[in-house]
Amino acid sequence: MGDILKTTVSRRAVLGAGVAGASLLAMPAILRAQDKSLKVGVYGGYFKDSFDKNIFEDFTKATGIAVESVAEPTGEAWLVQLEQAAKAGQAPADVSMMSQVAMLKGQSTELWAPLDMGNIPNGSNLIDHFVNKYPDGRIAGIGAVAWYITLVTNTDVYKEAPTSWAALWDPANADKLGLLALVSNSFLLEVTAKTHFGGTNALDTEEGLLKAFEKLAEVKPNVRLWYRDEAQFEQSLKSGEIPMGQYYHDVTGLAAKDGQPVRSTFPKEGGIMDSGCWALSRASQKTEEAHAFINYMCQPAIQATLSRKVGTAPTVKRDLLDLTAEEFAAVSSDIEPIIPRYDLYTSKADWLNQKWTEMIAG
Amino acid sequence: MRREAPQKLTDYAPLAFPAGMLIVFFVVPFATMIAVSFFRRDPAGFYSPDFVFDNYARFLSLFFGKVLGFSLFLAVAVAICCVVIALPFTYLLSRTKRRTQVLWLVALLSVLSLSEVIIGFAWSTLFSRTAGITNLLVMLGIMSEPIALNPSFGAVLTAMVYQALPYTVLVLYPALVRLDPTLTEAARTLGASPLKAFFTVVVPALRNTVVATLIMVFIFALGSYLLPQILGRPQHWTLSVLITDQAIYQSNMPFAAAMAVFLVLVTLGLVALTVYAGRKGEAA
């Protein structure tokens, strides 16, 4: 950068220096930011770019805490890294966005520093289930963003939108579905329980789980594709090759806006709501800054910005938000969601995985 | 030039570099994998160093036996298809003008530059109902309406053969170019048809090359995990797909390592058996 300025002391450079100088004067927060900072881990790629652009800069302006964003790998690789670093007293990121299963696994090794709700006054805005607690009631994490997996259809093939997850079982849909290939990301056991057995509590016992597996096995003849790669299904959905399935509500909405013949429907049993939490590594020295950050993120205005700019569902209560009905519908729904049974994916992970693989591949 | 056996210790010096490479890039990673395969899995966390046989015990079931069986069968099928297609092709290619040969080889090499992902998606489009090759057949009046050809075993096999064919040709090519043309000429003079000359003279003369090629394609195909996922149904998923699931999605490294070790052992066993049978056949 220095070289560029040296070699071309042009009008652009002079203007740039002027703007930088003016903003220093206008925003004393940036000056203070040098001594207060926080490393925040978010999923790399689209999420990190959106957060860098729409959230972190404003946060620094408002609080004077500089944010260094760290790109996290998806999956559980980040959890492993945090865990191993914490053992050595290091924190590659102070606050990280973590999946619910990763939250539970981190709890088992006390990886997450308990949060003090007294320092997070905006926490009262949250919908209750977005507060992640240790079994003894200490707060392990706070809901960061949420997203929905819904029933999606190709509008050329299905003139009428389906109304229920029961459509997956309809013999008329033979060889027409695209479903996620893993037990821990498709959440189809929960869908089965809610649709046919009255709720996800039906999965409490091994007996109930086996009944759900048995019922779910009935959709197999309808499934054309069990996908791991999202692009693979999205393409087939748009072309009508695979005209029905489960997919992300926000992405489907964006595709429909682009003029693609697709729609996302919240079935009457509810969409599947998955979410990420902000969690603080126990090795972090930045407890105060971390609380300020999490508190900032719990503001209804920030959640509304996330919904508009990033396409995530808000984690605070609907009536606190200034989102229009249309903006809200683009990311969420008032129908009560199906909340995945994350506890099962830690306590019975291998058993579920084995049964699932045997069910779909057997 | 006569080759002499190494006399002094320093005569072995040139071996140090390949040996070092082999240790760093093969022996150490493989030993690590074997070690991890005996570690204890903690479903709520990760794994801890230990010496348990649980991971191998879990693998020894009818379900995984079937998956392993299918993976081996698929790899053998790909190897046979490739050699059956590539052998006559390369033979004919080696008899053509140099310029034609170069053109074909460049075209084949360019296929190698395609990634597995691109090959998978390209074939899934070609086999689709909405944009695939059956639409052409409908236009020509051969079929009444377009159908989807994937997911199916045929789709997986086609794409894998497509992917492995250039390697097969490249391995067979040097041997076929060096093959003495007087051999077939002699057979023709003695009254054999071109086809008969090919099968009774060319193929037996290339016996060792063909076996080596089969083994190479077999091992190459055994590692495939993307194409079965993109073009196949779950029953066409290979063991490599399940290993990926365990390692990446379930973070169950010990079990993934145990499956991988098992796959390597079975593969080595089969290759050894093939070579042994080949030697025996030669001696007889």
CATH number (domain holding residue B227): 1.10.3720.10
Q: Does residue B231 have a pLDDT over 50?
A: yes
Q: Does residue B276 have a pLDDT over 80?
A: yes
What is chain B's Cα-based Rg?
23
Distance CA A70, CA A51 (A): 11
For residue B255, the chain A residue with the least C-alpha distance is: A350
Q: Does the residue B175 lie in any domain?
A: yes
What residue ranges of chain A are covered by domains with CATH 3.40.190.10?
Answer: 32-146+274-331, 148-273+336-361
Q: Does residue B82 have a pLDDT over 90?
A: yes
With CB atoms and an 8 Å threshold, state whether B248 touches A105.
no
* Distance between B45 CA and the closest CA of chain A, angstroms: 6
Concatenated DSSP letters of B137-158: HHHTTS-SS-----SSHHHHHH
Distance CA B271, CA A208 (A): 46
The architecture of the domain spanning A32-146+274-331 is: 3-Layer(aba) Sandwich (3.40)
Q: What is the largest CA-CA distance in chain A?
A: 75
Nearest to B229 among A228, A240, A346 (CB): A228
Q: If DSSP codes are grouped into helix, strand and coil, which group holds residue B99?
A: helix
Q: What is the dihedral of CA B153, B154, B156, B158, to 10 degrees?
A: 160
Q: What is the largest CA-CA distance in chain B?
A: 76
For chain A, which residues lie within 8 Å of any Cβ of chain B, measuring from their own Cβ? 75-76, 80, 83, 104-105, 108-109, 181-182, 184-185, 224-226, 228-229, 232, 236, 239-241, 346-350, 353-354, 357-358, 360-362
Distance CA A335, CA A266 (A): 8
Q: If DSSP codes are grouped into helix, strand and coil, which group holds residue B97?
A: coil
Nearest to B43 among A232, A236, A350 (CB): A350
With CB atoms and an 8 Å threshold, state whether A346 touches B130.
no
Count how many residues are written for chain A. 362
Q: Answer for the pair B273, B49: CB distance below 8 angstroms, yes or no.
A: no
Nearest to A361 among B128, B234, B250 (CB): B234
- pTM to 2 decimal places: 0.81
With CB atoms and an 8 Å threshold, state whether B121 touches A346.
no
Which of A134, A182, A222, A229 should one mutate to test binding to chain B, selecting the residue with the greatest count of B CBs within 10 A?
Answer: A229
With CB atoms and an 8 Å threshold, state whether A232 touches B251.
no
- What is residue A7's predicted lDDT score, i.e. its pLDDT? 42
H or E, element range at A272: strand A272-280
With CB atoms and an 8 Å threshold, state whether B251 touches A108.
no
Q: Answer for the pair A93, A82: CB distance below 8 angstroms, yes or no.
A: yes
Which of A80, A107, A220, A350 should one mutate to test binding to chain B, selecting the residue with the greatest count of B CBs within 10 A?
Answer: A350
Q: Does the residue B21 lie in any domain?
A: no
- What is residue A28's predicted lDDT score, i.e. its pLDDT? 45
Bridge partners of residue A68, in order along the sequence: A39
Which of A177, A232, A241 should one mutate to test binding to chain B, selecting the residue with the greatest count of B CBs within 10 A?
Answer: A241
Find the range with the poorest average confidence among A190-194, B42-46, B114-118, B258-262.
B42-46
Q: Answer for the pair A304, A55: CB distance below 8 angstroms, yes or no.
A: no
- What is residue B130's predicted lDDT score, i.e. its pLDDT? 87
- What is residue A210's predicted lDDT score, i.e. its pLDDT? 95
Nearest to A360 among B43, B234, B250 (CB): B234
Q: Does the residue B268 lie in any domain?
A: yes
- Can you state the percent helix, strand and coil of chain A, rounding each to 5? 50, 20, 30
- What is residue A311's predicted lDDT score, i.e. its pLDDT? 85
- What is residue A14's predicted lDDT score, i.e. its pLDDT? 47
Nearest to B252 among A229, A232, A350 (CB): A350
- What is residue A13's predicted lDDT score, i.e. its pLDDT? 47
With CB atoms and an 8 Å threshold, state whether A104 touches B44.
yes
Distance CA B58, CA A353 (A): 12
Range of B182's domain?
Answer: 47-283
Find the range with the poorest average confidence among A56-60, A127-131, B4-8, B66-70.
B4-8
Residues A142-175, buried b or exposed e (16+ Cβ, 10 A)? bbbbbbbbbbbbbeeebeeebeebebbbeeebee
In chain B, what residues touch A361 (CB-CB under 8 Å)? 63, 67, 234-235, 237
Q: Answer for the pair A48, A71: CB distance below 8 angstroms, yes or no.
A: yes
For chain B, which residues lie within 8 Å of any Cβ of chain A, measuring from their own Cβ? 41, 43-46, 58, 63, 67, 121, 124, 128-131, 148, 151, 229-230, 233-235, 237, 242, 245-246, 248-252, 255
pLDDT tens column, B113-129: 899 999 999 999 999 98
pLDDT tens column, B195-212: 888 888 888 888 888 988
Domain count, chain B: 1
Q: Does the residue B262 lie in any domain?
A: yes
Nearest to B148 among A76, A232, A241 (CB): A241
Q: Answer for the pair A115, A144: CB distance below 8 angstroms, yes or no.
A: no
**CATH fold of A148-273+336-361, please?**
D-Maltodextrin-Binding Protein; domain 2 (3.40.190)
Distance CA B114, CA B163 (A): 9
Instruction: Calculate what percentage of chain B has a pLDDT beyond 90.
Output: 47
For residue B125, the chain A residue with the least C-alpha distance is: A236
Which of A83, A357, A359 should one mutate to test binding to chain B, selecting the residue with the greatest count of B CBs within 10 A?
Answer: A357
Which residues of chain A are modeled with pLDDT < 70? 1-34, 74-75
Q: Answer for the pair A275, A97: CB distance below 8 angstroms, yes or no.
A: no
- What is residue A43's predicted lDDT score, i.e. its pLDDT? 84
Distance CA A316, CA A233 (A): 31
Distance CA A82, CA A98 (A): 11
